């Protein structure tokens, strides 16, 4: 995977490339990455990348020529790459899209600033518009980092076996079960006994139940979208029966 970020603040990415899973992927050679300064493609002595909006109003607009030139340069350097614009009007980013993007040869990530980018950029130069959520950022850089982070950990070989095994097979599209480490008691709360039992099938069952019920309580929308297997249905029925028996005993 080859990432090329187009931004007027390339230094924002220095620390990003230098830490964690992204750094590991770069070091291991599964990923190459760089940030290109859009300003380097602006004309004139002052290298201006913004201008006042036609029709008036507050704020500035990112000029089309420097951005188009920067995209052309990135395309030349990374001809296989898909060109992505980070924008609130884009398709909502999720884990499935992260998976699709992880199979691309490269991503050119265009980060707008100011009130936005001249509308004439969005058409032919951009293959895909992505939004990381319905809120307004100051620029696309933080969104690009979110996309790169989520995509990179899905590239084969990037996570060590120890890390990738962490996502239990049953936990697809569910919240993760609770995690505990030492000490055995913290703030007057102990680690669930089953996790200290050494009984691996009991632990697996507990995690499965925790994951499913936590999802029901905190993110029921995720269950609406997902099918449930026989075991999962049994877990929810057990909870239903327990709740019903409490209700019966009180009424
Ligand atoms: N932006 N998801 C860049 C966003 C955004 C989002 C606002 C993108 C400002 C110039 N990007 N413009 N949400 O809020 O991706």
Alpha carbons within 13 A on the beta-carbon side of 91: 12
Decide whether any atom of ligand 1 lies within 6 Å of the 62 Cβ: no
Q: What is the pLDDT of residues 84-116, one digit of tens each?
A: 999 999 999 999 999 999 999 999 999 999 999
pLDDT at residue 104, rounded to an integer: 98
pLDDT at residue 168, rounded to an integer: 77
- Secondary structure class of 109 (helix, strand, coil): strand
Q: What is the pLDDT of residues 33-46, one digit of tens each?
A: 999 999 999 999 99
CB-CB contact of 126 with 120 (8 Å): no
- Is pLDDT above 70 for 165? no
pLDDT at residue 52, rounded to an integer: 98
Chain Cα centroid distance, residue 146: 5
pLDDT at residue 185, rounded to an integer: 98
> Whose CA is closest to 157, among 67, 13, 26, 11?
26
Decide whether any atom of ligand 1 lies within 6 Å of the 87 Cβ: yes
Decide whether any atom of ligand 1 lies within 6 Å of the 113 Cβ: yes
Pocket perturbation via mutation, ligand 1, pick of 90, 143, 145 by most ligand atoms within 8 A of CB: 143
């Amino acid at each position: 995977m080859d990432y090329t970020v187009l931004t007027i603040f390339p230094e924002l990415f220095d620390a990003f490339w230098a830490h964690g899973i992204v750094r590991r992927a770069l070091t291991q050679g599964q990923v190459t990455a760089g940030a290109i300064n859009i300003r380097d493609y602006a004309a004139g002595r002052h290298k201006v990348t913004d201008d006042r909006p036609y029709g008036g109003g507050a704020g500035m607009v990112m000029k089309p020529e420097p951005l188009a030139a920067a995209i052309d340069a990135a395309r030349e350097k990374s001809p296989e790459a898909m060109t992505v614009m980070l924008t609130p009007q884009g398709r909502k980013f999720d884990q499935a899209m992260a998976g699709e993007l992880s199979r691309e040869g490269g991503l050119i990530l265009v980060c707008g600033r100011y009130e936005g980018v001249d509308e004439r950029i969005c058409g032919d130069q951009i293959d895909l518009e992505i939004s990381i959520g319905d809120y307004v950022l100051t620029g696309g850089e933080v969104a690009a980092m979110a996309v790169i982070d989520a995509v990179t950990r899905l590239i084969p070989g990037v996570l060590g076996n120890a890390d990738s095994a962490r996502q239990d097979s049953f936990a697809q599209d569910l919240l993760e079960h609770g995690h505990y480490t030492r000490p055995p008691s913290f703030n007057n709360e102990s680690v669930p006994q089953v996790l200290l039992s050494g009984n691996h099938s009991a632990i697996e069952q507990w995690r499965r139940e925790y994951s499913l019920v936590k999802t029901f309580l905190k993110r029921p929308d995720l269950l609406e979208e997902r099918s449930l297997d026989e075991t999962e249905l049994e877990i929810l029925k057990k909870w239903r029966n327990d709740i019903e028996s409490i209700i019966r005993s009180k009424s």
